[in-house]
């Protein structure tokens, strides 16, 4: 049983039985295909194929039916791989009634995209771009049009790359994080209990991954002290990229950084529940529109009445981490000076 060949045989047998159960559940009905690409640990490009259909109990099912190694990500190559996988499952492409992909140009192009190539063979294979995916892309692209937000995201990326550069730095970050939790527990600032105070990772934000920016902002704010401690240690140790590390350290310990990251956490926090709701299987368009209006109302309320709360959070963050911050009078004077410069 420990032989690699025997283990592979067992896995293949389980795969065949699982696929047979899925095909029996599908029967002769129509289905939609969901396709995405990703690299595995060996950096090989893999394409996953998921079937979406309504079973005999009238429940919507999504079943992963296979992974395939793709040497080319062109639309024509992906189409050939999809058809080959369907052929192995004895499924005809003519039964496809829906396509679900991301927003890459080789996928959604109206001329030579994958969606178009499949629709040429089956006109009923309608293409749908995931609503939550569109929401994430829209928010990120619009936010990055603002110079301060783009600068914030660049600083976050540089910080995460610097700390995650080596296992030694990641271990040091975990140690600093544990020390911070222990210190706050002694002060009574944290509540102990099951599933509380677990280790928090620094997730890199990705434009195409749901909620990653919001989680990154939240984790960065909560783990700001360990991050600064690790960067300080690198500077004192004479890191190879000393100037870069010092620039990152100086950049994240400013009032502008503090107010921008707290503002983006607030904005993404409003849209995060909406994004999660769009990913529910039982979601309908009427409820989605209702949730959209709710999010818009929350934005308007925050814009009209949320400034005091935001500034309290920023002030508390700056005081906690010894960052020089502007008082209300200083902010007013700063805005007046900026307006005068614009007038000139």
| Domain containing residue 12 | 4-129
Q: Which of 70, 102, 129 is the last residue of a domain?
A: 129
Helix (H, G, I), strand (E, B), or coil: what is residue 128?
strand
Same domain, 265 and 153: yes
Same domain, 272 and 145: yes
Give the count of beta carbons closer than 10 Å to the beta carbon of residue 45.
14
Half-sphere exposure of 182 (CA within 13 A, CB side): 6
pLDDT in tens, 314-338: 888 888 888 887 655 455 555 666 6
Give the pLDDT of residue 140: 74
Surface-to-core class of residue 99, CB atoms within 10 Å of its CB (0-12 exposed, 13-18 middle, 19+ buried)? buried
- Name which residue leads in pLDDT, 208 or 25: 25
* 125 has a pLDDT exceeding 90: no
Q: In this structure, is the dihedral angle defined by the CA atoms of residues 303, 308, 309 and 311, taken in order, positive or negative?
A: positive
Strand 126-129 vs strand 45-54: parallel, antiparallel, or unpaired?
unpaired
* pLDDT category of residue 303 using cuts at 50, 70 and 90: confident
Total domains, the chain: 2
Q: Which two tokens stand for residue 123?
A: 């006109």
In what helix (H) or strand (E) does residue 63 lie, and over which residues does it extend?
Answer: strand 60-69
* 32 has a pLDDT exceeding 80: yes
Same domain, 217 and 152: yes
Q: Of 97-106, 217-226, 299-308, give the lowest mean pLDDT range.
A: 97-106
Same domain, 306 and 243: yes
* pLDDT category of residue 196 using cuts at 50, 70 and 90: very low
Answer whether 71's CB lies under 8 Å from 50's CB: no
pLDDT in tens, 93-108: 899 998 887 766 666 6
Same domain, 146 and 94: no
Same domain, 105 and 12: yes
- Of the candidates 147, 153, 256, the one whose C-alpha atom is nearest the C-alpha of residue 204 is 153
* pLDDT category of residue 9 using cuts at 50, 70 and 90: very high
Give the pLDDT of residue 36: 81
* 284 has a pLDDT exceeding 50: yes
Same domain, 162 and 51: no
Q: What is the CATH number of the domain that holds 11?
A: 3.30.420.40
* pLDDT category of residue 22 using cuts at 50, 70 and 90: very high
pLDDT in tens, 232-272: 888 888 767 788 888 888 889 988 888 889 998 998 888 88
Mean residue pLDDT of the chain comes to 80
Answer whether 237's CB lies under 8 Å from 288's CB: no
Give the pLDDT of residue 21: 92
Same domain, 253 and 116: no
Same domain, 106 and 143: no
Same domain, 51 and 72: yes
Residues 6+ apart with CB under 8 A from 140: 207, 213
Q: Of 18-27, 64-73, 182-191, 246-255, give the lowest mean pLDDT range.
A: 182-191
Give the pLDDT of residue 132: 65
Q: Which of 129, 145, 172 is the last residue of a domain?
A: 129
Give the pLDDT of residue 31: 93
């Amino acid at each position: 049983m420990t032989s690699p060949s025997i283990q592979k045989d067992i896995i293949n047998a389980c795969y065949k039985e699982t696929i047979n159960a899925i095909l029996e559940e599908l029967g002769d009905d129509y289905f939609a295909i969901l396709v995405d690409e990703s690299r595995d640990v060996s950096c090989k490009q893999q394409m996953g194929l998921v079937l979406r259909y309504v079973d005999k109990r009238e429940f919507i099912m999504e079943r992963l039916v296979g992974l395939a190694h793709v040497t080319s990500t062109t639309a024509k190559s992906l189409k050939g791989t999809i058809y080959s996988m369907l052929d192995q499952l004895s499924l005809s492409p003519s039964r496809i009634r829906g396509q679900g992909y991301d927003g890459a140009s080789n996928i959604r192009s109206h001329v030579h995209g994958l969606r178009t190539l499949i629709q040429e063979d089956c006109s009923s294979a309608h293409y749908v771009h995931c609503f939550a995916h569109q929401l994430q892309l829209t928010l990120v692209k619009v936010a990055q049009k603002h110079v301060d937000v783009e600068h914030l995201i660049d600083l976050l990326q540089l910080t995460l790359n610097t700390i995650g550069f080596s296992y030694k730095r990641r271990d040091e970050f975990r140690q600093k994080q544990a020390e911070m939790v222990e210190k706050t527990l002694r002060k009574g600032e944290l509540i102990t209990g099951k599933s509380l105070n677990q280790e928090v990772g620094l997730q890199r934000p990705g434009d195409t991954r749901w909620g990653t920016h919001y989680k990154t902002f939240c984790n960065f704010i909560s783990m700001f002290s360990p991050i600064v401690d690790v960067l300080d240690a690198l500077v004192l140790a004479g890191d190879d990229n000393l100037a870069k590390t010092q620039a990152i350290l100086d950049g994240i310990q400013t009032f502008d950084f503090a107010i921008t990251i707290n503002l983006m956490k607030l904005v993404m926090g409003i849209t995060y529940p909406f994004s999660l709701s769009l990913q529910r299987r039982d979601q309908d368009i009427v409820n989605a529109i209702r949730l959209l209006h709710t999010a818009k109302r929350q934005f308007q309320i925050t814009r009209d009445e949320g400034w005091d709360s935001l500034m309290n959070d920023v002030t508390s963050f700056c005081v906690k981490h010894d960052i020089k911050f502007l008082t209300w009078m200083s902010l007013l004077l700063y805005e007046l000076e900026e307006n005068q410069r614009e007038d000139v």
